[in-house]
Amino acid sequence: MKKLPFTGLLIINILLQLDVYSVGLDIPQKLESSSLIFTSSNLPIVVINTNGQPIVNDKKITADMGIIYNGEGIRNYLTDPFNNFNGKIGIELRGSSSQMFPKKQYAVETRDSAGNDLDVSLLGFPPESDWILFAPYNDKTLIRDVLAYKLANDFGCYASRSKFCEVVLNNEYVGVYVLLEKIKRDANRVNIKKLEPADISGDALTGGYIIKIDKSDGENNSGWLSNYLPFQQTSNKVYYQYHYPAADEIVQAQKNYIQTWIFNFETVMKYSSNIADTSTGYPKYLDVNSFVDFVLINEITKNVDGYRLSTYFYKDRDSKNTKLFAGPVWDFNLGFGNADYYEGGLTTGWQLQYLTNYSNMSNEAFLAPFWWRKLFDDTNFRNNVYARWNQLRTSNLKVQNILNTVDSLTTLLSEAKTRNFERWQVIGQWVWPNYFVGQTYEQEIAFLKGWITNRIYWLDANMIGEPTNLRERNDLMPFGFSLSQNYPNPFNPNTTFEYSVPMQSYIQIVIFDVMGNCISTIVEETKSPGKYSVEFDAFNLSSGIYYCKMNAADFTAVRKIILLK
């Protein structure tokens, strides 16, 4: 028996028919019932103890959390020590419609012993304090969200890092979860300038901001109503919310600034006779490439919540970038044919057109801003979409590449998914709002793969826009991480490395000697997608063989370099 490093343990397990233990006793080496035994996993194991407190909505309770993660490809046992994290957390329920499901989602805040936010690295992610434990329930493939974020990353966009895990809550096995990064301003998440309460004038006032369009569930929410209706026939205005700075931190001058900025943009989209004018139209306000990618991700997935819910935008400080970016993308459990309303299950049709047609949406309270449709109908924007689609279809959006990703994810889950569906017996059952109900997990995956294939081919045949002389972004946007051989090589004493970053990532490039000693760190920062070069000066080193190593996400590359003096 292993002593649980938590104190005040109260184990109450009715659903799994476990014994009731007294406070402070040993934790069992396995969790079992007549049908389920859980002792170990190929996935990380997250163990949470609330010390008898119920987890509630809108208010985090203090709890204990431990994570067992022995590394990629190494098995994790309940009897192993908590080697990835072992400490205090704040935890609350999260989600909106998903809260009706018995498998709950959680927002987690890592804390120190005094209850303050504590930035930590969980499961290899860059350090932060705010996390999401996402609970796939009505998505019986378990992978839709992870797949969508992977596609966005492949596009070169930042989307939340994700890691499958299995969760034990108060000594009850609760299934397969996904650890996600909460959308947040951070050098390794949404990399915009920090905005302080004192930043109320000049360039400092102009950024950074994250705003969203979403339901107003949860705590600390506030915002403003758009001045313009989505449709003339409705009285339901779009509600923009402050995400960063948070509602209880943003000051009035900052509220005024971002509201005025959005009002000016919407006014141009409402009344301009030439919304595509580069000096006065939407190109003045929007990072068009990010909006193109946002449309494509939401259309590939045919996301019924797209454009009108879980929709984020961010704006940096003007001295860094004057434009509004779409994203990060978020929440795709109803995508990829998993919704039986708003034509979400069909592989045909443009979702944006459907969601911006009043005859379809007359009874809907949550509507997309009017300007999405005007943007979509603009010839220049359509041609950008066409060019981007054709660029991506030669690489990241090859059907077989997507299906290979699906296969790799299902292989990773081949063991854990069995336990999950023993715990939550939803296979073969309709769970709101399933369009398709498979009788086996394999049928769910087969439907997903067939749906993706048909959707991509429909988009091929019906893509908006046409060929133009627009410069395609593959001239600038790499499709993978890379580190070139330095030049010159041999060198004395300066040499240059070129490297590529396909998505916003934390990049580290170091020089070390043949004994493995770090000599110099030449890059250590978050980089946006692009191609870069960095120079290394070895004036203080002796002649010999050295190595250059690049680390980025799951990518590692090493180059042998020779210094001759």
The count of other CB atoms within 10 Å of the CB of residue 138 is 21
Give the per-residue pLDDT at 354. Answer: 98
Is 16 a residue whose pLDDT tops 50? Answer: no
386-398: burial string, b at 16+ Cβ within 10 Å, e else: bbbbbbbeeebbe
The count of other CB atoms within 10 Å of the CB of residue 28 is 18
Give the per-residue pLDDT at 31. Answer: 62
Give the per-residue pLDDT at 35. Answer: 63
Tokens of 26: 């040993």
- From 250, 290, 242, select the one nearest 388 (Cα to Cα): 290
DSSP letter, residue 473: G
- From 357, 354, 331, 369, select the one nearest 160 (Cα to Cα): 331
Rounded Cα distance, 11 and 18, in Å: 9
DSSP, collapsed to helix, strand or coil, labels residue 135 as coil
Average confidence (pLDDT) over 45-71: 96
* CB-CB contact of 298 with 101 (8 Å): no
* CB-CB contact of 187 with 200 (8 Å): no
Rounded Cα distance, 432 and 347, in Å: 19
Element (H, E) at 513: strand 505-513
Average confidence (pLDDT) over 221-227: 95
- 366 exposure class (CB count in 10 Å sphere: 0-12, 13-18, 19+): middle
Rounded Cα distance, 511 and 562, in Å: 12
Residue with tokens 């107003």: 216
* CB-CB contact of 231 with 358 (8 Å): yes
* CB-CB contact of 96 with 60 (8 Å): no
Stated length of the chain: 565
* CB-CB contact of 297 with 148 (8 Å): yes
For the chain, the average pLDDT equals 90
Is 477 a residue whose pLDDT tops 90? Answer: no
- From 493, 528, 531, select the one nearest 511 (Cα to Cα): 493
Is 474 a residue whose pLDDT tops 60? Answer: no
DSSP, collapsed to helix, strand or coil, labels residue 192 as coil
Q: Above pLDDT 70, what percent of the chain?
A: 92
Q: How many CA atoms lie within 13 A of 127 on its CB side?
A: 6
pTM for the structure as a whole: 0.82
Average confidence (pLDDT) over 321-326: 96
Rounded Cα distance, 232 and 470, in Å: 35
Rounded Cα distance, 381 and 462, in Å: 16
Domains of the chain (ranges, CATH numbers): 31-181 (no CATH), 202-392 (no CATH), 482-563 (2.60.40.3080)
Element (H, E) at 31: strand 31-32
Q: Which residue has the higher pLDDT, 435 or 5?
A: 435
How far is CA 494 from each of CA 487, 538, 546, 547, rounded to the nearest angstrom? 9, 6, 13, 14
Average confidence (pLDDT) over 264-291: 97
* CB-CB contact of 121 with 181 (8 Å): no
Rounded Cα distance, 452 and 446, in Å: 10
